[in-house]
A = this chain, B = another copy of it.
Amino acid sequence: MQNIWVHPRGARYLPMSEDIVPKIQDLLRFCHSKRVPVFYLHTTKRRDLADVGVFADIKPQTHDPDDEWSNFEGTIGAEFYEPIKPAADDLTVKKFRYSGFYGTQLENLLRAMGRDTIAIAGVATNVCCDSTARDGAMRDFRVLFLSDCNASFTREEQEATLNNFNKHFGVVMDSKALTAKLQELE
């Protein structure tokens, strides 16, 4: 998660992201202790807007190149939020659109590691998380959408996304259910 969305000064700050920070921290500790690979997706854009395509028009509010708290390359807004950032063995994948699978090496990394299941955590539930989760499912990964580790702008968006995902794309569960499942598998 990057400052633009999770830091209180971020240009697209989601207040509900506060609730998920401790949950994700716990999950990360668990994953590191069990050697479950952790991927961070990192979205940036160029200040000359060359790589933003139609989104400069669709979402002008995040495309002001002078805004240090948006997610332009090299700005404070683009940095990972301090309390949750990659540990030594975690993998960072750069992306430039909502989906972490579109135009990235994420699928290759997962295949090379022999992984067939992914769990989604982050912000925003209804935008990047959902788009990444859908794309994972279409590529035949089993996708677990973690209800208490994803945050949205509103309660309604959160629920609509989780309900829809659970019906059509994969499985919604909370992080406790995931860690219990992983422990059971050992």
Contacts and interface: CB of A to CB of B under 8 A. Distances in A.
Contacts of A18: none
Interface in A9-68: 46, 48, 50-55, 57-59
Contacts of A108: 51, 53, 96-97, 103, 139-140
Q: Which of A98, A112, A127, A170 has the most chain B CB within a 10 Å cutoff?
A: A112
A65 B48 CA distance: 35
A59 B137 CA distance: 12
Contacts of A51: 105, 108-109, 112
A96 to B, nearest CB: 5
A7 interface: no
Interface string A125-162: 01100010011011111100000000000001100110
A73 to B, nearest CB: 11
Given A160-B156, A160-B160, A97 B138 contact: yes
Interface in A82-113: 89, 91, 94, 96-99, 102-105, 107-109, 111-113
Interface residues of A, number: 48
A169 interface: yes
Contact of A140 (B99, B112, B135, B141): B112
A109 B58 contact: no
A113 B134 CA distance: 21
A48 B139 CA distance: 19
Contact of A58 (B48, B57, B58, B170): B170
